[in-house]
Structure 1
């Protein structure tokens, strides 16, 4: 077993594995072009949890009369935050894919205000991770929107198979 895959006695990842995962999480957050286009920033990662923010920008507004962010960009923020939380929960890095993402919009975002997101993995099985998240303006207990998501673990990164 290489040093990078060793686990500590309590079955938690080693410091080296955690460092490698941290690099992977940063790359995930920084290298997804869509996240960059939306200005999504990774704020913090903890075991199975992630915090992100998305600054307000005129090109992200859904209704110019109100200045409120479009619901689709809030959905993208929640999906990215959920994915980062799933990556953080994995013992070893592996590809993931969103299987299901349900968004409940509680109220419009505040005009001209950045939005934060917090996601927490609630369960990980062999093939699927389950996550809950909230988008908010600084208070997770007063959400703009909430999300429930599931992610497939260990997806192929290659092209889809040929169909007849």
Structure 2
């Protein structure tokens, strides 16, 4: 068996197993990407097996890189449609939209962190035979929901 690590830059004529390894994924990921239209399925020569090349490895690495940045498979398909490099404005627009989404998620996470921090502090500060403030707040979702949406402070019973 040959592959990228054994034979350096030889990224042509790869079987699906070697191709998957070279791209840093498993065979099922390759098949999934093919079903989703993210990766073309090569022709199968009569009586032979499909072979993959460097362009396929590059494409899978592109898909994985964009997934790590939070792009959905539909968004990745759109970026792949623009891959000839002449659609920079469209690609930039997609990235700007993703950046906006990421910033909104970060703000949501910051609010969640503040709420959880207050609840943990309330638990540590509890005295006597009072019920757990964290559990009580989670059971009374209205106060917690208002706080998570951005109101100031968490009211615990």
**TM-score, normalization: structure 2?**
0.24
Larger Rg: 2
Instruction: Kindly indicate which of the two structures has a greater share of residues assigned to helix.
Output: 2
Instruction: Kindly indicate which of the two structures has a greater share of residues assigned to strand.
Output: 1
**TM-score, normalization: structure 1?**
0.23
Structure with the bigger RCO (C-alpha within 8 Å, sep 6+) is 1
